[in-house]
Each structure stands twice: as C-alpha cells, then as structure tokens.
Amino acid sequence: MGGVELLVREGVVGPLAEWREYLPMGGNAKMVEETLKLAYGEDSNLIKDKRIAAVQALSGTGACRLFADFQKRFCPDSQIYIPVPTWANIFGFLTLDFNSHHNIWRDAQVPQKTFHYYHPESRGLDFPSLMDDTKNAPNGSFFLLHACAHNPTGVDPSEEQWREISYQFKVKGHFAFFDMAYQGFASGDPERDAKSIRIFLEDGHLIGCAQSYAKNMGLYGQRVGCLSVVCEDDKQAVSVKSQLQQLARPMYSNPPLHGAHIVSTILGDPDLKKLWLREVKVVLDQLFSFLDFVLLVKEDCAVQ
C-alpha cells in the first residue's frame, strides 16, 4: 500500500512513536467504529441503533480466539462446524493437527465438526453437500464461514448461493461466525466483498465477525483487527461487549496502539480512504497478473 502508507507513516507514526499509554480494553474506539462500517455498511441501522458489540482484537486470529472463548463460556455445550478445507498454517497445509482455525477452537475447548465445502474434481464449491450438512446439523449450531476469498481454495459461493445458505441457517436457527481476513482481495471492492454478511443481515440473523487489516492494509506485524457480534438490542450489546472485554483482560489485557491509529486515520479521512480503496484494487490486479504469469510459465514447462 505504497502511497497511502507513506502519507500515514509521515503524518501519524512519527508522533505516535512518543506515545506510551495503554488503549482501553475495547481498543481504539474510532478504529472499531470505522471497521464496523466496512463490514456492516456505512449507513447501517445496526450501527446507528448500537446493536453491535465490538472490540479491537489481535488481528483476525485474535478475533477468532476471543469469540471461541466467548462461545465456550456462554454456550458451553455448543460445537463449531468448520469447512473442509479451511485456513491452515504453512507447516501443515490441509493437515488437521496444524490447521489454524481448528487450533483456535480446540484450544478454547470447543468441540468441532466439519462440513463439506470444496469439490476437488470440479475445483469449485460442493454446494449440494454443504447444504446437506447445514440441514443435518442440530438446530442452533455454530458455523464458521469465510466471508470472501476463501482460504485456501479461493472459491466463494455466488450471491444466490449465499442467499440459500442464509435461508437454510434461518430455518435451522444456526449462528454464522464470519472470518473476513481478505476484504477487498476477492473482487477489489471491500463493499462487494462484504455481500455475504449483508445478505445474512437482510435476513435478520444475529452474527459474529472477525476482521483483520494484515492483508488489505499490509499491517501484518501490527496485529490490528476487530471482533463484532450483532445483538438483539443495544442493552444486550453493552452486556456482550462487557463480557468480551472481561475475556480479553486476562488474555492480553489491551490491544496494540500504533496499528489501530494507522487504520483509524486512513478510514476516518475521506481522501486517505479513497486512496486506500484504489490501492487495494491495484494490489489485487497485480496479484492476478502474477498468477497469470505463473500459470503461463507452468504451461510452458509442461510443453517442454
């Protein structure tokens, strides 16, 4: 993110280097507010009505772990359904023992099951099996869903398929927890990449969401993320946020300062935000160009 990063670092990081205070347990309020707009919409009534409990988290992994602990504490008999495959670390690609999503809920002592997602033969979504698994799961089950740019397959449901999934979740009373680590890197448009979440909200679901700026702002080492939970009303949101903060206190006390200020500065300034949105699209175009080049080289090698 060359241009916007340079501007922000010159204007923000220098002065921040002298700052030493703690953030509140809930994190940088401005960063959280702007992050919610990316997921739920600039004019979201849920935000206006204060129905979303949200805290700054340690990137996407930290947001997932915080929610897993929340699930274990308040729904102790529940389990989590995780797609096959799902995000894995580089040492154990598609290996359950090293699979990061599995490790997060395992260490929170939440029982796990899996549901069908990818169809290797067609290199696409195994939609019939996915729907069968959601139908056969006990009512009120928790499901982990990749909001966009599914890792590691890159295969996402179509808009119509998301609507069918949302409808089935409504029928069964399932709870959807979205991991949105790559917003902007599926289509080049963060707004479009939030469509899966918006569909669930249109259907009246209460959902959870993990967001991260590691990829779409390049803030890997800053560990900037957000955990949000949509609640029945503003009073429930206050209670849920309080419990999330209590869970965070013995886990990491409070989140990092500098990265959150970088995010809040970019998203809170209309000109910087426009520049960032343009650069997200540029980066994605570069990634696709590189992929095309790799595929071309692979084909040439195969011919030779």
Q: For residue range 6-52, list pLDDT tens digits in order.
A: 666 666 555 665 677 899 999 999 999 999 999 999 999 999 999 99
What's residue 299's pLDDT?
Answer: 63
pTM of this structure:
0.91
What's residue 90's pLDDT?
Answer: 43
What's residue 13's pLDDT?
Answer: 55
What's residue 94's pLDDT?
Answer: 46
Ranges of the chain with pLDDT below 70? 1-18, 89-99, 290, 292-304
Q: What is the CATH number of domain 2-303?
A: 3.40.640.10
What's residue 21's pLDDT?
Answer: 85
What's residue 53's pLDDT?
Answer: 99
What's residue 287's pLDDT?
Answer: 78
Cα 250 from Cα 227, distance rounded (Å): 17
- Long-range contacts at 279-285 (CB < 8 A, ≥ 24 apart): 279/1, 279/2, 279/3, 279/4, 280/1, 280/184, 280/185, 280/188, 280/190, 280/216, 281/184, 281/188, 281/189, 283/1, 283/185, 284/184, 284/185, 284/187, 284/188, 285/188
Q: Are 63 and 57 spatial neighbours (Cβ–Cβ below 8 Å)? A: yes
What's residue 91's pLDDT?
Answer: 43
What's residue 92's pLDDT?
Answer: 44
What's residue 174's pLDDT?
Answer: 99
Q: Which residues does the annotation mark as catalytic?
A: 87, 179, 215
